[in-house]
Amino acid sequence: MLALLKRNFLLYFRNRSGVFFSLLGALISFVLYIIFLQKNLTDAWAQLPNSGPVLNNWLMSGTLAVTGITTSLAALTQLVKDREHQVDQDLYLSDQGKWRLAFSYLTSAIIISFFMQVLMYVLMCGYFREVPTLSLLPEVLLIMLLSSLLSSLVNAIFVYFFQSVDSLGKFATIVGTASGFLVGTYVPLGVLPDFAQLLMKCTPATYIAALYRQVLMKEAVSETFKGRDDLLREFQEKMGVQLKWQALLTKEQTYLIVLGGILLALGIWISLAKRSSKRK
């Protein structure tokens, strides 16, 4: 198992262009914010004193959610490469076993996704000169882990249906482009039409982004919105800090939805893996 994990890590990180393109969706959202969105959002919330830290952490949260999606999908590309070139058959013959091989691809994607989120977080903190609050770091790392689990499982389900790297590459391009919209990084959730908001609320990563925002923005929000509860509620709803169904979801409810999504995706992945092992 360790040999399979090492192989997958080496194949992913040796492909430097692949690593770059796996981060492209996150980098696009970051660059768009720096060039266009930062000023627009600052003007839109001009009534807030010192809105910079709030909006910067809002951007960081969405970018981390996008990173979890795109890097886990890129890591799972190796599964399709091996399937296309029948390398997986050689690995079966090497006494690795079908379940062990399937689990190695998934585990590699989870670890790679987690590591790349940590890397992006460090880089963005450096750019914005944000000093992470030590008391918040354990929860941030927990959300990174949940993001890695959820994104890897969902992507593994999609990857199951691809037989060639070319077709998966086209799908990855769509995912990389759409993910920034779906987590509300390119355009805040609250300014979109109802149908678009519903679509975003049906996207698992949107709940990851909401968790990131509630944790990373906590201190900045408490200072900026002190004594402005009505404005705070409007901001949380429009900017996707807390998602609204009948009422704004609490952080605990959002965690439960994420955990439920992980369990559902795990069940589907196990079912697909069983079906795949019977066919071989």
Per-residue pLDDT of 6-47, as tens digits, reads: 988 999 999 999 999 999 999 999 999 999 888 888 888 878
- Residue 244, φ and ψ in degrees, nearest 5: -115, 125
SS3 content of the chain, % helix, strand, coil (to 5): 80, 0, 20
Residue 22: exposure state from Cβ atoms within 10 A (0-12, 13-18, ≥19): buried
Residue-level pLDDT at 91: 67
Residue-level pLDDT at 88: 66
Q: What is the dihedral of CA 211, 213, 219, 220, to 10 degrees?
A: -170
pLDDT in tens, 57-112: 999 999 999 999 999 999 999 999 988 887 766 666 665 567 788 899 999 999 99
Q: What percent of the chain has pLDDT over 90?
A: 60
Rounded CA gap, 108 and 105, in Å?
A: 5
Q: Tokens 């066919």, residue?
A: 279
Side chain identity at residue 224, one-letter code: T
> What is the pTM for the complete model shown?
0.93
